[in-house]
Amino acid sequence: MEIQVHTDQRDYTVTVERGSLSKVRGIIGDDAHVFIVSDSGVPQKWKDILCGQFPDAHMHVFEQGEASKNIDVFREILEDMLACRISRNDILIALGGGVTGDLAGFAASAYMRGIRYVNIPTTSLSMIDSGIGGKTAIDLNGVKNCVGAFWQPYAVIVDPDILSTLPERHLNNGMAEAVKEGLIRDPALFALFEQDDWKDHLDEIITRCLVIKRDIVEQDERESGERKLLNFGHTFGHAYESWHGFGTCLHGECVAMGMMTVLNDPEIKIRLHNVLQRLQLPETCSADKEDIFRLVMNDKKADHGTVTIVQVDEIGNGHLETWSSEQIKERLEAI
């Protein structure tokens, strides 16, 4: 299945196909030099399948984990690209999860004022969410995603077979974003998670999420309006994530708790509760409420004492609301 993405910066194709990792050379259809970036946690067998198609390519492997999304690793990638004489016409390939995509995408955006990069996401979160959209970033002094660029990929290749090696906690973590997309845009997607056999529908889940994200990104490339809907569960989720320390509680897990915190409708809350139980995702957080309040109000989306919240009163139909600081406080006291 191919999904076309049109953006101001570039048009590109997302290929979703089992076995597509073996066909990267053909899909790119280019004989440019390639430079591959991956992390130490991506299983060797996936690296071998990719490298086998590009015998001359250099692979830069950095230490797995969010802690690597920093300026030192960013610089090391750029230095390695320079040492390998990567030119403006060459292609960077990112093979990994969201950390790899964010770091490598940012390196591609900066190197020689921007070279093409191909994203091959290998986690559920990156296949569903971070793999498309063109947001790239690193963390700085503990502030997440604080330095980055909008840089659209040249192509995205999604091979669901790669998920076969992903630990269950990470698989479920990414699914929190799929549940979110179902709630804001796609009742049929949400309904897939209300069945015990949801894992038999992975390809459909990924494709539905990519189409939703594509449609939203195309309408709103730089996150001024429609794209904010994708932040459902993220206002409180980001606060939970920074309270726990990045990496302790995974992003999707915090989004799951954030969706439960913000939802008003009791029936939707019960349905979400059942889905989160099935996915072994957390619903409540032991974090200090005063701390969470401060973190929510300091979030970059907070504006003059009010916060834009995404709400879902009907499954498939998310909308934006403005909450005052009192409303945030009351909600935290109520949970």
Ligand X SMILES: NC(=O)c1ccc[n+]([C@@H]2O[C@H](COP(=O)([O-])OP(=O)(O)OC[C@H]3O[C@@H](n4cnc5c(N)ncnc54)[C@H](O)[C@@H]3O)[C@@H](O)[C@H]2O)c1
Name the site residues for ligand X (rule: CB under 6 A): 39, 41-43, 64-66, 69, 96-100, 102, 122-123, 125-126, 129-130, 133, 135, 145, 162, 165-166, 170, 251
- DSSP category for residue 246: B
Give the residue with the Cβ less far from ligand X, 189 or 255.
Answer: 255
* Min separation Cβ 137 and ligand X, Å: 7
Give the residue with the Cβ less far from ligand X, 251 or 331.
Answer: 251
* Min separation Cβ 288 and ligand X, Å: 23
Give the residue with the Cβ less far from ligand X, 20 or 123.
Answer: 123
Residue by residue, DSSP assigns 126-179 as IIIIITSS-EEEEEETTEEEEEEEE---SEEEE-GGGGGGS-HHHHHHHHHHHH
Distances 252 to 68, 222, 280, 292 between C-alpha atoms, Å: 19, 22, 11, 17
* Min separation Cβ 172 and ligand X, Å: 11
* Min separation Cβ 104 and ligand X, Å: 11
Give the residue with the Cβ less far from ligand X, 97 or 182.
Answer: 97
* Cβ atoms 97, 126 nearer than 8 A: yes
Residue identified by tokens 């990104």 is: 217
Give the residue with the Cβ less far from ligand X, 90 or 129.
Answer: 129
* Min separation Cβ 198 and ligand X, Å: 19
The continuous run of DSSP H or E covering 84 comes out as none
Give the residue with the Cβ less far from ligand X, 132 or 332.
Answer: 132
Helix/strand/coil (H, E, C) string of 30-77?
Answer: CCCCEEEEEECCCCHHHHHHHHCCCCCCEEEEECCCHHHCCHHHHHHH
* Min separation Cβ 201 and ligand X, Å: 19
The span from the CA of 112 to the CA of 233, in Å, is: 37
Neighbouring CB atoms inside 10 A of 203's CB total 14
Give the residue with the Cβ less far from ligand X, 23 or 329.
Answer: 23
Single-letter amino acid code for the residue at 328: I
Q: How far is CA 60 from its chain centroid? A: 22
Q: Give Cβ neighbours of residue 132 (< 8 Å, ≥ 6 apart).
A: 5, 14, 119, 153, 156, 210, 213, 214, 217
* Min separation Cβ 327 and ligand X, Å: 26
* Min separation Cβ 96 and ligand X, Å: 6
Give the residue with the Cβ less far from ligand X, 127 or 309.
Answer: 127
Residue identified by tokens 């309270």 is: 243
